[in-house]
Amino acid sequence: MAARTLTPKGEQTRQRIILGASAEILESGVEEVRLEDIMARTATSKGQLFHYFPGGREELVLAVTRHETAQALREQTEALLGFESWADWQRWRDAMVVWYQGRGLRCPLLGLLSADAGRRMPEAQAVMVEFMANWQAVLAEGLRRLRAAGCLAADVDVPRAAAALLAGIQGGILLMITTGRIDHLTAALDQSATARRTSTS
Amino acid sequence: MAARTLTPKGEQTRQRIILGASAEILESGVEEVRLEDIMARTATSKGQLFHYFPGGREELVLAVTRHETAQALREQTEALLGFESWADWQRWRDAMVVWYQGRGLRCPLLGLLSADAGRRMPEAQAVMVEFMANWQAVLAEGLRRLRAAGCLAADVDVPRAAAALLAGIQGGILLMITTGRIDHLTAALDQSATARRTSTS
DNA sequence: TAGATTCTGGACTGGCTGGTCCATTTTTGC
DNA sequence: GCAAAAATGGACCAGCCAGTCCAGAATCTA
């Protein structure tokens, strides 16, 4: 917020804190993470934390939220806007599964919007809302391309299908985190497209 | 856990605490609720809280989790095991939407399994896992009945469809809580069945 | 080089809140 | 009616942790 001047070194430290906090949150969840944990992981002092994030814990979490959403949106955009064939969809679907498996069935974002976190941090929630809208738009564009390529029935309501797909993904991830199983996610991903498929590849 | 003797009066107080805690959690989220809030709402003292829940906060939350999951499962079972026609499905779908709207787009359960809560309270998480499995089974039975009634294509993979449906519901609720909109939930519910429908009613 | 600015470290504080403890009152069972 | 058991009220404690503060080191700028 405040237009403060940061030296290169300062900028570096700031980034290190965001990355460390991000990792810490992924592992333990927002509520669970203590400033001390972040200090330990990033080898910083309390003075530094409040120097770079005068708003304290809340501002830091907000920065992490921004960082993670931007990252995720970038990756999804890159993957989905290239859709031109059924194989592309399959690749993306598989990549999603692998991505989460590689992270031990955790999600860097879902921990950020636990039901109550939003109430306490409206700014972070706003970021999440915007992120979801953007992701949905990207999903819609991907589906539109698939439809254009003839992989989906011509009468598919793309925006609505994208909404359902996003819900399926989120629920799949939630259930993955809760149950430790990934089959809800795969089932949701598969249903979203195969049900509307015009023909088998 | 401990086989303690409760007088009718005691049992009544215990129930009052669970109900009050449940309402408080619905409104503010698990992490946000303080014992003091529950005491105020239920007109009880700290002595009573620890008298009925020797395990303290954690035991109380566990009791609430058990209470809410049992309640939800009862309602869903009642609704879904009666499925005999397409109209039944429509009624259930509409009822789901109305139910959440009536609660101000909140969910008594989703707040209980925020990503990190599970790590801190494995017992509550286990209850949630079991609940999800049961709900999914009930959904599967509902779909099976629909298929038997000829409302769904005969080749629908019911267990997998149920998994996808559950994911869609959870994600829809999550997005409802986050964004304040209910259209993801409706899109997920509708897609799950309409895509597989054999014919229009 | 010198003064200003930024960066870093860490001791300290204040409030919050879960949990303990016990005295008192009410209910139970005989 | 009367012990015993259960229920209730609330004062008190202790640990945790975000946030404050300031002194000193490093870095920039002129």
- Contact between residue A170 and residue B175 where contact means Cβ atoms under 8 Å apart: yes
Structure tokens at B52: 């009925």
Nearest-CA residue of chain A relative to B191?
A164
pLDDT for residue A35: 98
pLDDT at B201: 37
CB pair distance less than 8 Å for A170 and B170: yes
In angstroms, what separates the C-alpha of A32 from chain B's closest C-alpha? Answer: 7
- What pLDDT was estimated at residue A125? 92
**Hey, is B130 helix, strand or coil?**
helix
Least CA distance to A110: which residue of chain B? B115
Does residue B104 reach within 7 angstroms of strand C, measured from its CB?
Answer: no
- Report the pLDDT value the prediction gives residue B27, as an integer from 0 to 100: 92
Question: What amino acid is encoded at A188 in this protein?
Answer: A
Closest Cβ opposite residue A115 in set B111, B191, B192: B111
The alpha carbon of residue B74 is apart from the nearest alpha carbon of chain A, in Å, by 21
State how far the Cα of B163 lies from the Cα of B50, in Å rounded to an integer. Answer: 39
Q: Compute the nearest-CA separation of A53 from chain B (Å).
A: 23
Residue B33's pLDDT is 95
Please give the domain boundaries of chain B with CATH numbers for all domains.
8-194 (1.10.357.10)
**Of B91, B87, B96, B178, the residue nearest B135 (C-alpha):** B96
Chain A contact probe: residue of B179, B182, B183, B197 with most A CBs at under 10 A: B179
pLDDT of residue A197: 57
Closest CA to A101 of A44, A10, A178, A181: A181
- Per-residue pLDDT tens listing for chain B (201 residues): 444 789 999 999 999 999 999 999 999 999 999 999 999 999 999 999 999 999 999 999 999 999 999 999 999 999 999 999 999 999 999 999 999 999 989 999 887 876 556 678 889 999 999 999 999 999 999 999 999 998 998 889 999 999 999 999 999 999 999 999 999 999 999 998 775 655 443
Strand D reaches within 7 A of the A183 CB:
no
Identity at A158, one-letter amino acid code: V
- Which pLDDT score, from 0 to 100, does residue B115 have? 54
Nucleotides of strand C lying closer than 7 angstroms to a protein CB: 5-12, 16-23, 27-28
Kindly give the parts of chain A with pLDDT less than 70: 1-4, 114-118, 195-201
pLDDT, residue A200, reads 40
How far: A24 CA to C21 C1' (Å)? 38
B166 close to B136: Cβ distance less than 8 angstroms: yes
H/E element, B170: helix B158-179
A10 touches strand C (CB under 7 A): yes
For A171, the closest of B116, B170, B190 (CB atoms) is B170
Please give the structure tokens belonging to residue A36: 């001390």
